[in-house]
Amino acid sequence: MQLLMSAVCVSEKMRTKGIELGQRTSYLPSSFNLGENQWVVIFRFGVVVTIGINDKERSDILSEITPFMDSPLSSQLSENIHITIGGKEDIIDNEQIRLKSLSREHVLVMADIMAKSVMLDRYETAMSEVFTEIEPLARQLMKGRSQKIKSKELTHRIGATLLIQQIMVGRVEVHEKPETLWDHPELEKFFHKLEDEFEIAERNSALQKKLELITNTAETQLELINRTHSLRVEWYIVILIVVEIVLTLYEMFLRH
């Protein structure tokens, strides 16, 4: 039997309390069994993972949970992988997962990796767009010139990168294992194989380096702008002092 597993990034945040889709099998993340080999797993950071669900059913499910979405995304990023059930052992081969059987624990482990992968996809795309904006700034700095840019824009960019770091570390918890592994350590090897297959650690490390580079570049540019403003203020003060001295001398000579 072959099933399609899909992970869709639908919103910035999901309120999972109150969602009822079928037989609930876990709360963190919220997972539901809708029928034989049909599963839905909902993560609080806005990703919905489905197994054995067709496009029409998935669309209906997303419509049903829309009221629980905070800041729904206009364009939904998704990632798919095929699961074959009935193999001799659990293996990952040629972008396909082969399982002896599909248990709740398998679902939670696979959903965890898929959700992290689609979130990495989302921010990798966002960072590549920001890099096209950052490159001209870096080239201007290399030439000893500072490109005209508002400090408000730079502050916004720094804040945006810090927010992504907070989401990936605090909400997505890329470095953390799914809780089900504590009760089922026999699946840990399977989890690490999936993690390697999707290159979760490597992609997260590359993303963090990009975020640090963007933050450092923006902070450097902001520091240069602030230094220029400080120098300008110092010149204004010097000019005012000179004017005051000239006026004082003028009054002294006029009275004399």
Cα three-residue angle 84-85-88, rounded to 5 degrees: 105
Residue type, 7: A
Indicate the pTM of the whole model.
Answer: 0.74
Is residue 247 situated within a structural domain? no
Report the C-alpha gap between 19 and 35 in whole angstroms.
17
Residue 41, domain extent:
2-217
User: Is 253 contained in some domain?
Assistant: no
Query: Which pLDDT tens digit goes with each residue over 3-45?
Result: 999 999 999 889 988 898 889 999 889 999 998 889 999 999 8
Would 182 be classed as within a structural domain? Answer: yes
Question: Total structural domains in the chain?
Answer: 1
C-alpha distances out from residue 250 to 239, 241, 245, 246, Å? 16, 14, 8, 6
Contact 38, 51 (CB under 8 A): yes
Indicate whether 165 pLDDT > 70: no
Please state, in angstroms and rounded to a whole number, the distance separating the CA atoms of residues 77 and 9: 5
Cβ atoms of residues 29 and 105 within 8 Å: no
Q: Are 24 and 32 in contact (CB under 8 A)?
A: yes
The answer, yes or no, to whether residue 213 has pLDDT greater than 70, is yes
Of 242, 245, 239, nearest to 253 (Cα)? 245
The predicted model gives 60-89 an average pLDDT of: 88
Q: Is the residue at 137 inside a domain? A: yes
Residue of higher predicted confidence among 66 and 129: 66
Residue 79 belongs to some domain of the structure: yes
Domain membership of residue 223 (yes or no) is: no
DSSP β-bridge partners for residue 31? 26, 41
Q: Give per-residue pLDDT as tens, 102-143.
A: 999 999 999 999 999 998 888 887 777 666 666 666 666 666
* 98 is a domain residue: yes
